Structure 1
Amino acid sequence: MIARIDEERVRQVLQDLVRIPSVNPNFEGGVPERDVAAYVEAFFARLGLSAERREVRPNRPNVIGMLPGMNPDALGLLLEAHMDTVQVTNMTIEPFGANIEDGKLYGRGACDTKASLAAMLTALEWFVMNNVKPPVPVFLAATVDEEVNYLGVLDVLQTERRFAAAIVGEPTELHTVVAHKGVVRCEIETIGVSAHSSKPEEGLNAISGMLKVIHHIDNVMNDRLRAITHPLVGQATLCVTEIAGGVAPNTIPERCRIKIDRRTIPGEDSEQVWCDLQTEMAQFEAFDEKLKVIVHPPFVIDYAMHTSPDSEIVRMLTAAAGSKIGTVRMLGVPYGTDASKLARAGIPSVVFGPGSINQAHTKDEWVELKQVALAAEIIADTMMGFGKR
């Protein structure tokens, strides 16, 4: 186990990160992650560590730095944390103030997930400043676009580097997350026939047709999904999240669209779930010859994850956390993370970080600074032992 990491240094790095806006450009008031990436790149340069800047999209670069290990030929340990945040609309605090009160640092991204990034950076810094090498190379990837399309982590998988395992930074209150859900999001459209509303019988109302589809989702499909469960993440779910249809108050609507969110559990294949949805709607359509239903291709598709508790990275991270906080739980969560893409590529991955998911995306987002410092120590302890023979 290593010496205690300076909480004041952790605070400084986290304040620096939170004060740099990096709202995902897909959201209102979006700002590319460029400036946070520049900070991370300069951090590596100051430590004398090599780093690669990869332009995933214009002004949206990943930065991947490397801390050499005692065995330079060994597969490395990957630390990954995203730089983007959600929007700051309706926040009740200064989003980028990084103000501190009662041991809590406030600001957008403070919890999700710049606290994890700060912990990872300061853990690497400890090794350099103390002239210590971990057993295997350690890579830190600061990535873009986790909040929308996961473009950053997918780009990491396009590099020539190969990793033995990964720690993915997200707020877990210093517990280890070994399983989470995946998601399929797509649009379902009903096609009718437009007509003047004074003669509705001459048309086919797409909104009325969509009501039948929604009733089927709520009362048939969801009943079946309640039987599909996983011991750590719970049941698979299906929700209607948006609806749009009609063109005028005196016109029978020809089209209606809904967006759906289908959460998958470990053991389900997201692509197959979408195919099954197509089949379901085709069968449903067959009961009503006048109704045409189209299931459009997914605009978001992600995968569920379940990493074995017996894998080296889970055992070592859990032990390191236990030495700092006592009892550590191995959890499953209902949301998705970058970890599922890494796991799908054959990299055993665990989700870990300071802060609570209950503070993520909130109007007054915050994280306890003591937890961030503890996370840095836990990550450093894991780096010290991982891959040791």
Structure 2
Amino acid sequence: IEAISNLEPELGDHAFLGHGKITVSDIKTSNVSINAVPDECTIFIDRRMTFGETQEGVIAQLASLIPAEHKADFAIEPLFYDEPSYTGFVFPVDKYFPAWAHDDDHPYVQAGQKTRQAIGLSDAPTGRWEFSTNATYWAGKAGIPSIGFGPGDERVAHTTLDSVPLDEVVKATEFYALLPVVLKEE
């Protein structure tokens, strides 16, 4: 686990997306009680990639941490979604999501800026969120243009302090109701 965290300085870097990230996000053991030494351990690693990094490169980087004498005892396996949704629908997909971004002159980014103005919000520079969204699939994997706009403060998103002012929810609703109209005009 320490060797995984020590990889941080070696991860890719990009001027806009920033530095790649890696963290051990979960550990599961097969022990029979909390007083027994487990005979097996599964470590889940969340690896946020940036431009220039590949799934194969990430796996090779992790494999290089395993001492030669223990390589036969380890398996590095990308995760796979195949759980049914609440309706029973299954959409199998691997949990590899490549980095993505749109330039400021992209039609979706331009439409987002025009939509902000149309609903009375002040101009704001485009940027990126520090957290992940489902756009990692839609834009990064499926190639469907995506932008992010939403209420709340990203610094507390997905934490116990997460809260969203109702007026911001209303503005976000206005934004997403108008965005298709603005896109059609582009």
Amino acid at match of 1:340: T
Distance 1:354 1:255 in 2: 43
Equivalences, count: 169
User: Helix, strand or coil for the counterpart of 2:114?
Assistant: helix
Find the counterpart in structure 2 of residue 263 from structure 1: 48
Structure 1's unaligned 5+ residue stretches are 1-213
1:186-205 alignment, distance < 5 Å:
none
Find the counterpart in structure 2 of residue 357 from structure 1: 154
Find the counterpart in structure 1 of residue 26 from structure 2: 242
Q: Which of 328, 338, 341 is 2:137 aligned to?
A: 341
What TM-score does the superposition give when structure 1 sets the normalisation length?
0.37
Distance 2:4 2:182 in 1: 49
Amino acid at match of 1:366: S
Q: Deviations over 1:22-49 (max 9, x none)?
A: xxxxxxxxxxxxxxxxxxxxxxxxxxxx
User: Helix, strand or coil for the counterpart of 2:131?
Assistant: coil
Q: Deviations over 1:215-256 (max 9, x none)?
A: 32233x22312xx22223321111123334555789765433
Say if 1:334 and 1:280 are closer, same or farther in 2 by CA, change over 3 A: farther
Find the counterpart in structure 2 of residue 306 from structure 1: 101
Structure 2's unaligned 5+ residue stretches are 81-94
Contact 1:232/1:333 (CA < 8 Å) preserved in 2?
Answer: no
Q: Which of 194, 218, 225 is 2:5 aligned to?
A: 218
Q: Deviations over 1:166-221 (max 9, x none)?
A: xxxxxxxxxxxxxxxxxxxxxxxxxxxxxxxxxxxxxxxxxxxxxxxx232233x2
Say if 1:230 and 1:333 are closer, same or farther in 2 by CA, change over 3 A: farther
Contact 2:59/2:76 (CA < 8 Å) preserved in 1?
Answer: no
Amino acid at match of 1:229: D
Q: Deviations over 1:35-87 (max 9, x none)?
A: xxxxxxxxxxxxxxxxxxxxxxxxxxxxxxxxxxxxxxxxxxxxxxxxxxxxx
Distance 1:350 1:304 in 2: 14
Distance 2:169 2:113 in 1: 16
Distance 1:235 1:322 in 2: 32
Contact 1:247/1:253 (CA < 8 Å) preserved in 2?
Answer: yes
1:1-389 alignment, distance < 5 Å:
214-219=1-6, 221-225=7-11, 228-245=12-29, 254-269=39-54, 271-277=55-61, 279-281=63-65, 284-286=66-68, 288=69, 292-299=73-80, 300-323=95-118, 324-343=120-139, 344-363=141-160, 365-388=162-185
Distance 2:159 2:78 in 1: 31
Distance 2:156 2:70 in 1: 49
Contact 2:114/2:182 (CA < 8 Å) preserved in 1?
Answer: no
Give how far 1:274 is off.
4.6
Across the aligned residues of Structure 1 and Structure 2, the Cα RMSD in angstroms comes to: 3.1
Distance 1:289 1:369 in 2: 54
Amino acid at match of 1:316: A
Say if 1:290 and 1:388 are closer, same or farther in 2 by CA, change over 3 A: closer
Report the structure number with the largest CA radius of gyration. Answer: 1
Distance 2:61 2:32 in 1: 27
Distance 1:249 1:352 in 2: 45
User: Helix, strand or coil for the counterpart of 2:154?
Assistant: coil
Q: What is the percent sequence identity of the aligned residues?
A: 28
Distance 2:117 2:72 in 1: 58
Amino acid at match of 1:276: A
User: Helix, strand or coil for the counterpart of 2:164?
Assistant: strand
Q: Higher relative contact order at CA 8 Å, sep ≥6: structure 1 or structure 2? A: 1
What TM-score does the superposition give when structure 2 sets the normalisation length?
0.70
Say if 1:313 and 1:280 are closer, same or farther in 2 by CA, change over 3 A: same
Say if 1:380 and 1:216 are closer, same or farther in 2 by CA, change over 3 A: closer
